[in-house]
Amino acid sequence: MSVLLVNYDGFAFRDGEEDQALSGRLLFTLSYLRFEHVDGTWELPLQRLTLDQNSAGNLIFHDEETGWWFESSDVRILNDIFLLRQTHLRTQARELRERREGNRSLKYALIFLAGFAGFFFIGWLLVKAAANSLANHAPVAWEEHLTDKVIAEHPKLFVIDTNDARITVVTQLVARLAAALPPAERRYQFRAALIDRPVVNAFALPGGRIFVFTGLLDRVQKPEELAGVLAHEMAHVTQRHGLRKLIAGGGPYYVLRLFVSDQQGVLSVISAGSQLLVNQYYSRDVEREADTIGWHYLMAANIDPRGLADFFQLQTESEATTTIPEMFRSHPATSERIASLNRLWEKSERKSGFVQLPAMTNAPLTSLQERLLRSFKSPPK
Ligand SMILES: [Zn+2]
């Protein structure tokens, strides 16, 4: 009969004497738990024992009457036929089996989730690297193509005002800033245009196109303010913020398609997302980057860089008093940005000796002049 008795490695100790544990073998008979140790054998009636599991996951039997504990890491005990003949131990063993299975499922689920997350994290890193590489190495011609498409798709937005003589001032300032750009950033042909709308703002599109609303020109009081805005827009262009936004907005599939397409394919994929360029805004970080880089452009062009902060002040006041269509509020003038520009000024080693820009003629064309000009331009009906 004894061949049927399975025995298990384990040890025994008494309450408060855990450091004097005795190692031996545990086995179950019809009515007893038998512990065999080199110095002798104990037998405890199964009826008196309770079964549980400790924090290490080992099975423990306790006999309250004698204060003995028996511990084993061998989970086969939970299926021992003699142990299972005792009702209370059978119930406790079943509970433990269920608890262990639950823990195991949870562990597998966690391992699976961690693997899954790791897989996606690596994928995400790869996509990010690919997007960055693409944004860094795309030829300027792609950006120009993209911008042409954006302009063609939004004829109601891009109504270029060719009557306003103030385009000269804008163009001169852009040329002055462009000439002072660091050599590595001189790959763009900047072109400025005016849009006749009462919006105190400007925006840039990839490839070097800069659009200034006449509302901005009506409001600026110093050419330095206008120069500040233009330098900020030029920084958006040189840092390829538009292209980056487009690639980021398209997601991994979009980037993947860019990579597997030939050049013509890439252009059509990029252009498909062009809507993003007119409808979305840059993040605060991107705006701050454009502020800082624009600041350096102004310094390089020997223009007093405080104009941008002044412009923000102006814009805040303007937006508070007028209703501006949501899509044109691309540069929310937050006090935070003004503060960060002010910090740049405080840290600046150079605070004087800037070029004296020609004063701006703020006045837009009088309505009479305007009507006259228009009548020359548009065919009589
Ligand atoms: Zn901006």
Give me the sheet containing 40-45, strands edge to edge. Answer: 40-45, 32-37, 22-28, 7-14, 68-72, 59-63, 49-53
Mind listing the pLDDT tens digit of every residue in the chain (381 residues)? 445 678 999 999 998 888 888 999 999 998 999 999 988 898 999 999 999 999 888 999 999 999 999 999 999 999 998 989 999 999 999 999 998 888 888 888 999 999 999 988 888 888 778 778 878 888 898 888 888 888 888 888 888 888 888 999 999 999 999 999 998 888 999 999 999 888 888 889 999 999 999 988 988 889 999 999 999 999 999 999 988 888 777 766 666 666 666 666 666 666 666 666 665 578 888 999 999 999 999 999 999 999 999 988 877 776 666 555 554 554 555 688 899 999 999 999 999 999 998 887 655 544 445 545 454 444 433
Say yes or no: 225 and 83 in one domain. no
Could you say which of 77, 102, 127 is where a domain stops?
102
Domain range for 62 is 2-102
How far apart CA 103 and CA 291 sit, in angstroms, is 54
Say yes or no: 185 and 278 in one domain. yes
Question: Which residues are within 5 Å of ligand 1 (an ion), measured at CB?
Answer: 287, 290, 331
Within a domain: residue 118?
no
133 alpha carbon – ligand 1 mean position (Å): 22
The SS3 of residue 181 is: coil
Say yes or no: 83 and 156 in one domain. no
Say yes or no: 369 and 233 in one domain. yes
127 alpha carbon – ligand 1 mean position (Å): 25
Within a domain: residue 275?
yes
Give me the sheet containing 209-213, strands edge to edge. Answer: 191-195, 209-213, 202-205
Say yes or no: 76 and 192 in one domain. no
Could you say which of 57, 80, 102 is where a domain stops?
102
198 alpha carbon – ligand 1 mean position (Å): 18
Say yes or no: 263 and 352 in one domain. yes
Within a domain: residue 113?
no
How far apart CA 323 and CA 335 sit, in angstroms, is 20
Within a domain: residue 250?
yes
The answer to whether the beta carbons of residues 194 and 166 sit under 8 Å apart is: yes
- Kindly list the catalytic residues: 233
Question: Which helix (H) or strand (E) is 142 found in, with range?
Answer: helix 140-153
Instruction: State the total domains in the chain.
Output: 2
Within a domain: residue 238?
yes
282 alpha carbon – ligand 1 mean position (Å): 7
267 alpha carbon – ligand 1 mean position (Å): 25
Say yes or no: 159 and 298 in one domain. yes
162 alpha carbon – ligand 1 mean position (Å): 24
233 alpha carbon – ligand 1 mean position (Å): 6
